[in-house]
Structure 1
Amino acid sequence: MASATKISLLIFFASSLLTQGILGELICENLPTNLCAFAIATSGKRCVLENYRNEEGSVEYTCKTSEVVVERMSGYIETDQCVKACGVDRGFVGISSDAFLAPEFTASLCSPSCYQNCPNIVDLYFNLAAGEGVFLPALCEKQKTNPHRAMLELLSNGGAVGGAAPGPVAADYVVDAPAPAPAPGYF
Structure 2
Amino acid sequence: MFLDIEADRYFCLSPAAEQSFARLIDGAPIVAENEAVLANLARHGPLTDGSHGVAIAPCLATVATRTDLPGLAIPPRPAQLMLAAGSLALAPLRLRLFGLAGVIRALQIRKARATSPEPHDRRLTTTAAAFAQLRYVATAHDRCLTRSIALASRLFAQGLTAELILGVQLRPFAAHAWVQAGDRLLNDRVDVVRDFTPILVV
Q: TM-score, normalised by structure 1?
A: 0.27
Rg (Cα) greater in structure: 1
Q: Which has the higher contact order (CA 8 A, sep 6+)?
A: 2
Q: TM-score, normalised by structure 2?
A: 0.25
